[in-house]
Amino acid sequence: MILLIETSHRICSVAVCDFEGTCLWEKQDDRLLKHAEALPILVKEAVDSFSDIKAIGLSKGPGSYTGLRIGASLAQGLCYAKSWPLIGIPTHDGLINNAIQKNGNLAYCAMIYAGRDEAYTVFWNGSEMSEIAPKNFEKDYISSLDSTLYFTGDCMHLLGEEIAKERTLDATPHARLLASPAAAKWKENNFEDVAYYTPLYAKDFIPGVSKKFKI
């Protein structure tokens, strides 16, 4: 079994799948941005329920910087303690795999909200995946995209009403979506170096001033 951890999004979730990619158990904490509190509880429940876990599949990002660090810290600690391999899975892989299973192997753009009008974006053409890059979804950029492209992710509001009605598969990053990619990497022995693992941030962190702060 593979323990699956998703902390890149505002909701923390954990799942367990077999080595064929079938999800056997899943649970999430619906409180926003409570990963530090929720993740240890969810992971303990999963580990207590499945005695034959052999690896961890971790959503490596991009997404919430803090959430990614929380997930990485707990996963690395468990991998050291249990001598489990760590499987890192880009969050977009789960979204695109989910879209293919639901809608067929078409052309997709997977989007994860990056703040303002930006999304961390990956394109799938049916056989190859592009590099992850932050994109600003202004009207001119949207109109330049292929009209046959389908969109999936957690920020469909950036696309406009017309596209949102016809060519979107709304999906939130969730641990269960990591099952198939994690199983595929397990079979390939495609593991992370636990000691040197770092999340996939996709762009540099730029600190801002809190709106609550007043001089």
State pLDDT tens for residues 91-123: 999 999 999 998 899 999 999 988 778 899 999
C-alpha torsion sign, points 174, 111, 156, 31: positive
Pair (15, 65) in one structural domain? yes
Same domain? For 67 and 106 the reply is no
Q: Residue holding tokens 């996939």?
A: 200
Same domain, 104 and 182: no
Token pair recorded at residue 35 = 């990963």
Residues 86, 128 within the same domain: no
Asked whether residue 138 is assigned to any structural domain, the reply reads yes
Is residue 162 in some structural domain? yes
Domain membership of residue 100 as a residue range: 92-170
Whether 81 and 145 share a structural domain: no
Q: Are residues 9 and 80 in the same domain?
A: yes
Spatial strand order of the sheet with 150-153 comes to 133-136, 118-124, 108-113, 150-153, 168-170
Domain count, the chain: 2
pLDDT digits (tens, 9 = 90+) for 15-68: 999 999 999 999 999 888 889 999 999 999 999 999 999 999 999 999 888 999
Residue 11 neighbours by CB under 8 Å, 6+ apart? 28, 29, 30, 32, 172, 174
Q: What's the predicted TM-score (pTM) here? A: 0.89
Same domain, 80 and 58: yes
